[in-house]
Amino acid sequence: MDILVDLQNISAAVQNQTALQNVSLQISKGKHLAIIGPSGSGKTSLLRIVAHALAITKGDVVYHRSLGTERNPAAHVALIESRHHFKNASNTTDFYYQQRYNSSDSEDAQTVTTYLQQVAWAHPDASYWTFDKVVEKLNLTYLLDKQLIKLSNGETKRLRIASALLKHPVILLLDQPLTGLDVTSREYFNNLLQEISASGITIVLTTSPAEIPAVTETVLVMENGSITQVLEREAIKTERFQWANSSHSFDAQEVNDLMNQHAFETFEDIIRMQNVNIRYGEVQVLKNINWTVKQGERWALLGHNGAGKSTLLSLVYGDNPQAYANDIVLFDRKRGSGESIWDIKKRSGFMSPELFQYFPLDQNCLQVIESGYYHTLGLFRRSDPKKAELAERWMKLFNIWQHRLHLLKNIPASAQRLCLLIRAIIKNPALLILDEPCQGMDNLQQQFFKQVIDTICRNSNITLIYVTHYMEELPEAVTKQLKLVKGEVVE
């Protein structure tokens, strides 16, 4: 069997914290691997080392000559992580969060066609994964004229996989590839992996124990930066993985004390929309939306990738200027009646994959959380000791206090999401919007997260909107649902 990459007793650190220790692994051609383990176990770091994107502190990484020269040993390795690096059409600036909703600025973003064509032109030798092939297999035809900035989380993931395939890598590394995909896309993805395998590409991916693709033969179990088990995929059915380092006690009284640190405002209608329509050019994104949310209600917002959920939330959170052209009431006031975007944001807590995508990563976790008091993407003023103290209490509750002074970009994906969750709830908002909040969390972290949300809902009049593609993630407090299909509400 041809060995493509040989990791020999490697160790690595991220921000002086051990990420991997004494890991040995051989990646062989056609032998596809799935890696499972608790959040922070080193799964992502292992992928980044194979992709030559993270330096090692000990050991050796030996690449087969088919993977490039010593000068560029990972030339034929493609890594897809959770965060993309799209730039504007001028290729001089990164996207910013509200750009997708501002028509003049969003036009500066490349279209899907332009983006993929540039990748294809840069890799003219690809024989199997052509432009037409990736567009068909990744279901991108209806997105070809759409700007990158306007893609949903799931659509962006499909595009990035298509881009990677156009390079026809020898090894394709996928970090939690099913995250953010709806049910139909997840089912289709398993078949796609079979075709990727048949085209000669070797696949290594991180995933959860419940979503190990059939194409993978071997499963690596990682804990505390080490490979602890090597199993056949079939054996996973009988294995029970309870990650000990993910579990900690739940303090309901501390949740209540923290939520009582700020006065709670009362309203009649948190949201009232009547015949709301949103259009970008010839594309109607939302059509005749009627939706009323009373204070204290807890809603699930459901729908396929690209159904219009993010656009709907942008109207609620004040980011979309088309709200002024529609009949929308937020917190008992009609949009356009004199309230500012900051009046809306100070009463709302919000987290989403898109928010994480555009959040500056050069701030530490305490700064990230404290910025929630000021509704800004990052802290741009002197830290307030009392607010910082509350942030630390929340971090202790969620068992991520050890990351308080670490940069957001250097902590595990689950801890990143928990930081943004704390940022959303720290000011005790009247409305809490959680868009796919459990991405990157292992099962026990998800259970703990649901306990916290249910406790908050049980002991306050907070209004909740919860977006997910996994119904089992929904807290018990959620009793209502709004489902979108192609921009329309379905009963």
Burial of 491 (0-12, 13-18, 19+ CB in 10 A): exposed
Residue type, 7: L
Q: Can you give the C-alpha Rg of the chain in angstroms?
A: 23
Q: What are phi and psi of 100, to 5 degrees?
A: -65, -20
Euclidean distance between CA atoms 112 and 102, whole angstroms: 18
Strands 431-435 and 348-351: parallel
Under a CB-based contact definition with an 8 Å cutoff, are residues 222 and 46 in contact? yes
Alpha-carbon distance 440 to 414, whole Å?
A: 5
| Phi and psi, residue 176, nearest 5° | 50, 60
pLDDT tens for the chain, 491 residues long, are 689 999 999 999 887 788 899 999 999 999 999 999 887 788 999 999 999 888 999 999 998 876 655 566 667 899 988 766 666 555 555 554 544 555 455 556 788 999 999 989 988 876 789 999 999 999 899 889 988 888 877 788 889 999 999 988 999 999 988 887 788 888 888 889 999 999 999 999 999 888 899 999 899 999 999 999 999 888 776 456 655 444 456 788 898 888 888 777 889 999 999 999 998 878 899 999 999 999 999 999 999 988 999 899 999 988 888 888 899 999 999 887 777 788 888 899 999 887 877 777 788 999 999 999 998 888 889 999 999 999 999 999 988 999 999 998 888 888 888 999 999 999 999 999 999 998 878 777 888 889 889 999 998 899 999 999 989 899 999 999 999 999 999 97
Report pTM. Answer: 0.83
- Alpha-carbon distance 325 to 370, whole Å? 33
pLDDT score of 239:
52
Residue 246's pLDDT is 46
pLDDT of residue 431: 95
Q: Return d(Cα 56, Cα 49) in angstroms, integer.
A: 7
- Give SS3 for 460: coil
Measured CA to CA, the distance from residue 409 to residue 293 in angstroms comes to 35
Cα dihedral angle (157, 161, 164, 169), rounded to 10 degrees? 140
Taken in order of first residue, the domains within the chain and their CATH numbers are: 3-245 (3.40.50.300), 252-490 (3.40.50.300)
Q: Which residues is 13 bridged to in the sheet? A: 18
